[in-house]
Amino acid sequence: MSNLNFIDRMSLGLGEKLSYVFLISVIITCYEVVMRYVFNAPTTWVHDGATALSATGFLMAGCYCLQARRHIAITVIYDAVPQKVRNVLALTNALLIVVFLGLLTWAAMKVAMPAVAWQAWDCRVQFCGLETSAHAWDVPIPAYLKSVLFLASVAMLLQSLIQFWQALVTFAGKGTP
């Protein structure tokens, strides 16, 4: 891991550290099942909490999968063509990923900004006016998740730019595939 750049190390580190949120989500879900069916005392917070934890894990896992190149790939055509064509396909793929993640980042920012309403914070109301879930617990999970979506898409965009650069260097013949 020492020869990785900062973005690669960040993606791997986030993926490895945040993988524990799934364990926490399972534990609190088991707690809810026991409380509901054994003690007849259901909670108001477990559903929202488990959803927020799992969504955070899934969103940030995208960075890890992109860095480790462990995403789903259909390689039937890729494996059947010569190396020069593979380099063209890799460059095209990397460019499409950068464009997609650029658009996703822009859209996530447009959704996250109103949810956190930086310019309209009013701390005289609950959670300073952040968008809340409107469930029994009514915490600002939508604002949190929309912000995490934006941060995850920024991290994946940075990771995809690194991979685009690597594909470009390989395509130019100055690197190894």
pLDDT in tens, 149-176: 999 999 999 999 999 999 999 998 876 6
54 lies in some domain: yes
Q: For residue 174, give both structure tokens.
A: 């100055």
25: buried, middle or exposed (CB in 10 Å: 19+, 13-18, 0-12)? buried
Cβ atoms of 12 and 4 closer than 8 Å? yes
Query: What are 90's two structure tokens?
Result: 């890799």
Q: Could you read off the pLDDT of 3-33 as tens digits, one per residue?
A: 788 888 888 888 889 999 999 999 999 999 9
In a domain, 1, yes or no: no
Give the chain's domain count: 1
117: phi > 0 → left, psi -120 to 50 → alpha, else beta; which? left
Q: Could you identify the residue written with the tokens 């100055």? A: 174
Q: Is residue 176 part of a domain?
A: no
Q: How far apart are CA 26 and CA 20, in angstroms?
A: 10
Angle between helices 6-18 and 46-68 (to 10 degrees): 140
Domain membership flag for residue 146: yes
Domain region containing 82: 6-171
Q: Is 130 helix (H, G, I), strand (E, B) or coil?
A: coil
pLDDT at 28: 96
